[in-house]
Chain A
């Protein structure tokens, strides 16, 4: 210690010079990697777009609206898959949003003591952690046989409705949508719960003070206040549903013929990619890349919108 007081410069000064270089280098290194996250995102878009060019030149926008996928004649159009992606995601939302918001209400209100509530929150989180391929396995061997009876009943009694117009088998749009709903439920529940918990307690107390019941307060004060966060969560879930691959591939049947019936087999963009990439070559690879680009664009759009909505909620909370 004494030496450094006697000689404040000298050796320690030289170390500072060296450590300044290390310090600057370190800062630059971390900066490069932080920028790398954005670069990765752009590289994905660029690389997939680049590989898709031959197909984009050949088929143009007609690719989106024609239902033909014929590797033998080398003609491609992804309408069946795009329709399948949109309809399964829509049905999944239809099933998952009411249940998810219901779960969020249970987990944000004080219906249950915290001792019960906390493990429940954790269990809903676990639902999101189970790999997609295992939902597919479960869907094939457990859920499909279980649903066969009720779905047959629907078909026999309501086959005049186009939605139920084909005989149900173990694979099809309906079962893919149900499993998708299970898989996106935790996202909707978790983000809706965050938004509901984030609503200022003053609002709730004011509503109670005016004589509103719990559910009047929820419907007229809490949910309207939290709605942008809830919608953000729903959109994130939509993005997940559109990109979800394995469970859907295993359950949807992978047919390229479009059909209005929910019991019919169909396909999605991600299922198409999972099925064909390993054996594709030439223009088929380019067309698969084109399909992947469409999927990337769709999910990007939904996710950016969701991100902006969820972000607004977070800012408001602070």
Chain B
């Protein structure tokens, strides 16, 4: 395995192994235990697009494991504005680091970087393409809540057209035999090629505009933000903005164990009244970004996570 560009780079067995590693690393992620598995290693953080959670959680993950991080910094002050190609940027960072986490506005940039580099690339989002490290933390959150990944009913709601997190996640959930419901306004539907790919792989898929009637027997409701920045036409955005506004009152008939997830940031698709319900899981999900990325960094750098982390680690 070189890097992680799409979820196709991982088998189901590898996914489950990484999730188990992540689970054992929880006390390290919480700062309760010091375990410098990646001491002496350097992560290059290349974020060509704004990011808060992904960039910070990669940095935290590396540092919790005793590694170090170098950042590209603001794209506006880097060589990129001088016209440097991605290929050249990667050649440089490849020489400075042991592994690279990258986000780029153009689709295919992560695969392109991997083909240009010797070190592994972790795709932190490429345009409207893939976001597999987000998928790993999403899967971790789902498994944490339900104890399994297979056979669940998962609703993905909101912007399914441009939302790269739901593209990667729907592929992974299909591989684990989940039933998927895609709830979105018509102009933000899941791209047809993704739906046909999922169906070709045996995916059980329902497409609808009506989120609320589908929630009763769902195990997971995964909300996404309708991304203003992906619209070139303000009027088109205005038509669909606020299409879904999940309120605590909407949750009276749902399963007790149903969880609500969101990759964050949210706007108004989840009302703050939901935060205090037993279903809200989005802040834990954001925290899980650290532990999932810790496990991925170890995996890609060929570092084994000890079976007994408590024994291997020391007090801080």
A, B bound:
no
A contacts, CB < 8 Å to B = none
Give chain B's interface residues, CB within 8 Å of chain A: none
